[in-house]
């Protein structure tokens, strides 16, 4: 038996109120003016704008609408799991487990059909088996590079990040958006030369 329209709407509203909590999740990456750290909702918004602006660098035939859907849901699990800092290996050891549990709860707030659809989008982003998910992941890395670049080194300086670490983190850009890779390399080398990134 399908749920009553009013019950369905209540679940949808509950989900939207739950999603608002993403605004409270603070990342380690500063705003480009270095005034404060960005939150995960701001990151997701900026990532969506990046997808629109940089769509021409995606593989041929990449569905921008699908990329935007992936971006919109990709960090909702952080409501429960928190943001896992890219250069924190200890936190990464438990990231998958924490985020899977969060996905079950957060997407489970929705009516089943919608919850299953959004959960499938989140899974697609995580597994990177489609060109849309690979491009979305590449932009996720690229956006953080831009934030740190704009902030004069940002979290790279604050956490003593090395050239090797940044190159490894940016690898999805080379694979999924190779025409952006020269910019990534040039940015990394500039910040290595300035001492903001340790040249190791």
Model pLDDT for residues 30-73, shown as the tens digit of each residue: 999 999 999 999 999 999 999 999 999 999 999 999 999 999 99
User: How many angstroms separate the CA atoms of 60 and 133, rounded?
Assistant: 14
The residue extents of the domains of the chain are 5-194
Cα–Cα distance list, 93 to 53, 88, 133, 158 (Å): 34, 9, 22, 22
Torsion of CA 186, 191, 195, 198, to 10 degrees: -80
pTM over 0.75: yes
Mean pLDDT (the chain) is: 96
Radius of gyration of the chain (CA): 18
CATH no. of 5-194: 1.10.3210.10
Q: Extract the tokens encoding 129.
A: 């088996």
pLDDT at position 1 over 70: no
pLDDT at position 163 over 70: yes
Question: How large a percentage of the chain has pLDDT more than 90?
Answer: 94
pLDDT for the residue 121: 98
pLDDT at position 4 over 90: no
């Amino acid at each position: 038996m399908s749920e009553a329209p009013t019950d369905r709407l209540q679940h949808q509203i509950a989900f939207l109120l739950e999603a608002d909590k993403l605004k409270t999740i603070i990342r380690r990456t500063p705003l480009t003016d270095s005034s404060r750290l960005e939150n995960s909702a701001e990151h997701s918004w900026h990532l969506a704008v990046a997808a629109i602006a940089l769509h021409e660098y995606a593989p041929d035939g990449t569905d921008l609408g699908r990329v935007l859907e992936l971006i919109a849901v990709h960090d909702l699990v952080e409501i429960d799991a928190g943001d896992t800092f890219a250069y924190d290996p200890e936190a990464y050891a438990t990231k998958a487990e924490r985020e899977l549990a969060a996905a079950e709860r957060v997407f489970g707030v929705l009516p089943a059909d919608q919850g299953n659809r959004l959960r499938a989008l989140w899974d697609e982003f995580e597994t990177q088996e489609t060109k849309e998910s690979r491009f979305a992941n590449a932009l996720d890395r690229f956006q953080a590079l831009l934030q740190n670049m704009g902030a004069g080194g940002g979290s790279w300086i604050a956490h003593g990040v090395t050239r090797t670490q940044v190159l490894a983190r940016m690898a999805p850009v080379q694979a999924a958006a190779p025409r952006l890779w020269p910019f990534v390399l040039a940015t990394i080398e500039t910040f290595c030369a300035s001492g903001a990134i340790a040249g190791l």
